[in-house]
Amino acid sequence: MKKNKLGKSDIMISELTLGCMSLGKDPDKAIEIIDHAIDAGINHLDTADLYDFGMNEEIVGNAIKNKREQIILTTKVGNHFNRKSMDWYWDPSKEYIMQAVKDSLRRLKTDYIDFYMLHGGTLEDPIDETIEAFELLKQEGYIRAYGISSIRPNVIRKYVKHSTIDGVMTQYSLLDRRPEEEILDLLHSNRISVLSRGPLAKGILSNHAEKIIEEKGKEGYLDYSYQELKDVKQNLSKLLQEEYSLNALAVNYVQKHPAVASAVFGASSVEQLRENVESAHSGPMTEDLYIRLKQITKSNQYDKHR
C-alpha cells in the first residue's frame, strides 16, 4: 500500500488509516482486525484516550505489543475523563496534556507515540499553553509529531500560524466538502498533512449505501435532504466502473487532493476492513471523474463550527 509523508516529519503513513474506535471491546476480535490491516499494508492506527474511557487504548496496546515497530501509532488528548463516573470535560491545559500522555503510554504499552493530536479545540482555549505542552513532549521524546483533530477552520488557522503541527484530522467526504473551500489548500501550502476522517459519510457512501440511507438518512445528512441523498446515490451508481466500488469512489475522491495523506475509516469486522482495503487497489482517479463527482455533490460551507 502506498505511504505518504506526514507533514514535515520523517513519518510515513499508509494511504488508509484504521480508526480504532469501532473495534469494540472484544480483545481477540480487535487483534484479528488489526492483524488483517497490517497484512494488507496499513501501518497507521488511530485511537484516542477518551474512546471507551481508555479501554480502546488498552485493547490497541495489547494488539500491537509484539509488533510495535510495524505501526505508526496515533492517539488524542484533551478530554479530561473519569473512568469510574464515566464523564469528562474539555481540558487543553498544559498540565493535563503532560499528565495524560503518560497515562496513554501506559495503556498503549509503549514508550513513545508517533503522532499525538489535540482532540478538538476552540478559539477560547489557552492555545499558546497547549502548543507549549506538545512542543515539550516532542523535545522530551514522548511523541514524534503532533497535530489537531478539528473541523473548525479558524482554530486550524491559529495552529497553522503559531505551531509546528504536521497534520490535521478533519471530516471530509463527497457529502462534506467543507474543507475544500478553506482548509485543504492552506494546509498543503504549509506542508501540513490532512487525515480525512469519515470518507464514507457514516456508510452513506459505502457499498451498502442504499440500506444505510434508509436506516440513517431519513433526517438527511448535513445540508442534504433524504431525497437528495437518494438522488446522489443514484447518480454515483451511474459513474461506477469495473475498477470502482462505491467505497472506492468515495475514498479515492478525498485522496485526490495532494494535502490528504491518509483516509481514516473504522471497521468492526474483518469483512468491513477488506471492503475498504480494496479501495486502495483501484488506482488514481482521473481528473474527468473528479470533476463529475463535484458536479453531482454540493460545495458545502462551514457554518456553525468556526
* 253 among known catalytic residues: no
Could you say which of 51, 159, 221, 253 is catalytic? Answer: 51
CA distance 113 to 118: 13
The burial class, CB within 10 Å (0-12 / 13-18 / 19+), for 42 is: buried
Q: Which residues are annotated as catalytic?
A: 51
